[in-house]
Amino acid sequence: MSTDGLTEKKLETLSKLYQDIVPKSPETKSFYLEILVSCNGDFEAAVGLINDSLGVQRTTDFNNTCAKRGCEGGLPNRATKVQKSLNSFIKDPNNKIKSISDSSSSRISNKAIELFTKEDIETNIKYISVHKNVLPESLANSLLRNLSEDGDNFTPNQFYLFGKKCTSNHLTKMFSSSEDISSGNIRIYYNSYSLTDIAQYDDNLKMAQLLVEDLVNDCITQRDLLPYQIRAPNWKGDVVLVNRYYKESNLDWHSDKMTSIGPQPIIASLSLGCSREFRVRKSYPSNSQIYIIRPPHNTLIIMHAGFQEEYRHCIHGHAKNAPLKPHPISGNVRINMTYRCYLRKFLDNCPKCKKCGSAMDLRRAFKDPKTRGQYIWQCSRSYIGQECDGIVRANFDNNSLTVEHFDEEGSRWLAPDDQEAYLAQSLK
């Protein structure tokens, strides 16, 4: 296909706009071209569709056209094409983008709704609780100061998208109060990488651990228990991943990996400094409502058991030219501390792929209502950009954490309100 000069310029601008997420390659040009064609050449519409698909909000004043989408009326059709196109770049079937135009009869507004109060958040989003001013003010401020200024070993994350190695635009550092973990005796994996540089907790981090542990264990005793989740008082905050975001940083839609923290994990996420949009949506249907929460400094969001299975979350990209309200201590920097409770059973017994010997990742099927709820181990090679379709059902009652025979029923869990899946699986 030949392209005129204007189209070339549009393609180049798109490529630049997303180059931190989709690294430049010969294929990406045809990818952007396909998107442009599906939007009848409308640049703003193409940007809108790619933003929606990647969970970011990039803008550009290309052409000085108005920032609104130009093809609102025909959006679902074009979006489907774009998603097919995006999907051809994505090797891992679980990471494929779902069509946003299916089940049009039950189409929900995709306009994000901001939730302001604790009550609104906790009634609209299941498996979440919000706790403001969770640490003593001086402790929260010291943590923010130290973690936003700490120059040691804060590095970007590496991950794979479209089979290509990508680098995050935010920085991370892992800390632990466990000698075994920080010394490397017990190996911690994050996104399939074995982490080696794990720093020790200082006194502030130890104090925060105790306060967060108390609160989380207290919440566990007050909520309905899910079958595979940890019981109080066993939840521990002895490992924390610190994320440092700058104005231009974002984190794409995801659910947290359960591989080393087990099914129905509880993850406590402390926000410090500049407030950013934490967005949440149900993993299904694909057009599920997006909710916005803006956790202010010193707010703990607890993602309770069931959240990683049923929801996805992201840190929304901040529009380039839009002002951000700076925090008096950290300016535009936001610090997030995510406490994950690593479980020996999962760290020690993570199965190896029968086909290639690589470690496997724990996932829960959710797309197809007929199989939704099944926990599966999937070869992590596909996750790091290589091809292997090794897969086995999980069974959390077995020492091997897997079923013995391929067609054996393994562990599974359906959300009690998931009528669609109960019906599809002929369950009551």
Ligand X SMILES: O=C(O)CCC(=O)C(=O)O
Q: Which residues sit at the interface with Fe ion, rule CB under 5 A?
A: 256
User: What's the token pair of residue 370?
Assistant: 């007929």
State the binding partner of 129 from ligand X, Fe ion, none, CB within 5 to 8 A by kind: none
Nearest of 358, 376, 143 to residue 258 by alpha carbon: 376
Nearer of residues 330 and 336 to ligand X, judged by Cβ: 336
Instruction: Write down the least CB distance from residue 16 to ligand X, Å.
Output: 26
Question: Which residue type occupies 219?
Answer: C
Tell me which of Fe ion, ligand X, none is bound by residue 251, counting a contact when its beta carbon lies within the kind-specific cut-off of 5 to 8 angstroms. ligand X
Burial class, 296, CB count within 10 angstroms (exposed 0-12 / middle 13-18 / buried 19+) = middle
> CA 120 from chain center: how many Å?
22
Q: Which residue is nearest to ligand X (CB)?
A: 336
Cis peptide before 295 (omega within 30 of 0): no
Exactly one of 10, 282, 304, 313 binds ligand X (CB under 6 A); that residue is 313
Determine which residue in the list 278, 366, 383, 413 makes contact with ligand X, applying CB under 6 A.
278
The CA-based diameter of the chain, rounded to the nearest angstrom, is 65
| Least spacing, CB of residue 336 vs ligand X, in Å | 3
Q: How far is the CB of 244 from ligand X (least distance, A)?
A: 9
If the CB atoms of residues 303 and 394 are measured against Fe ion, the closer one turns out to be: 303
Cα end-to-end distance, the chain, whole Å: 54
As measured in angstroms, the least distance from the Cβ of 359 to ligand X is 19
Per CB under 6 A, contacts with ligand X among 237-256 are: 241, 243, 251, 256
Closest contact distance (angstroms) between CB of 245 and ligand X is 7
* Residue of 28, 85, 229, 269 that binds ligand X (CB under 6 A): 269
Residue from 336, 374, 378, 411 touching ligand X (CB under 6 A): that is: 336
4 DSSP 8-state letter:
-
Residue number, 31 or 159, with CB nearest to ligand X? 159
The number of beta carbons lying within 10 Å of the beta carbon of residue 322 is: 9
What is the 3-class SS of 185-200, one letter each residue?
CCCEEECCEEECCEEE
What is the rounded distance in angstroms from the CA atom of residue 410 to the CA atom of residue 395? 5
Q: 389 in the Ramachandran plot: left (φ > 0), alpha (ψ -120 to 50) or beta?
A: alpha
Phi and psi at residue 180, to the nearest 5° = -60, -35
Least Cβ distance, residue 196 to Fe ion (angstroms): 22
Amino acid 274 reads C
Peptide bond between residue 26 and the one before it cis (omega within 30 degrees of 0): no
Nearest distance in Å: CB 334, ligand X: 7
Say which entry of ligand X, Fe ion, none residue 278 contacts (CB below 5 to 8 A, set by partner kind). ligand X
- Using CB distances below 5 to 8 A depending on partner kind, what does residue 243 bind out of ligand X, Fe ion, none? ligand X
Site string for ligand X, 79-108 (x = CB under 6 A): ------------------------------
- Residue 308 within binding range of ligand X, rule CB under 6 A: no
Q: Count residues near ligand X (CB under 6 A).
A: 10
CA 281 to each of CA 189, 229, 249, 278, 299: distance values in angstroms, whole numbers, following the listed order: 26, 22, 20, 10, 20
DSSP class of residue 317?
P
Among 315, 341, 353, 360, indicate the residue that binds ligand X (CB under 6 A).
315
Nearest distance from C-beta of residue 246 to ligand X, angstroms: 12
Q: Which residue lies nearer to ligand X by CB, 315 or 392?
A: 315
Identity at 243, one-letter amino acid code: N
Nearer to Fe ion, 256 or 277 (CB): 256
> From the centroid of its chain, how far is CA 250?
11
Strand 164-176 relative to strand 198-200: parallel, antiparallel, unpaired? parallel
Cβ at position 257, least distance to Fe ion in Å:
9
Residues of this chain that bind ligand X (CB under 6 A): 241, 243, 251, 256, 269, 278, 313, 315, 336, 338
